[in-house]
Amino acid sequence: FFVQTNHTRKELLFLMFKEINLRNHSSLHKLFYSLTIPS
C-alpha cells in the first residue's frame, strides 16, 4: 500500500494492522491489538 508523508507513526502502524487484519483475522489480530493498545 502507498503511504503519505504526513502520516504519523501510529497511523502507519494502524495501516499495517489493517493490512494484516485483512489477510489474517482472529488470533494474530488479538495479539497485535493487545500489543498496540495497552490496557
Higher pLDDT among residues 35 and 1, named by residue: 35
Tens-place pLDDT, residues 5-39: 666 788 888 888 887 767 666 776 677 777 777 65
The pLDDT score that the predictor gives to residue 25 is 63
The cell for 26 is 482472529
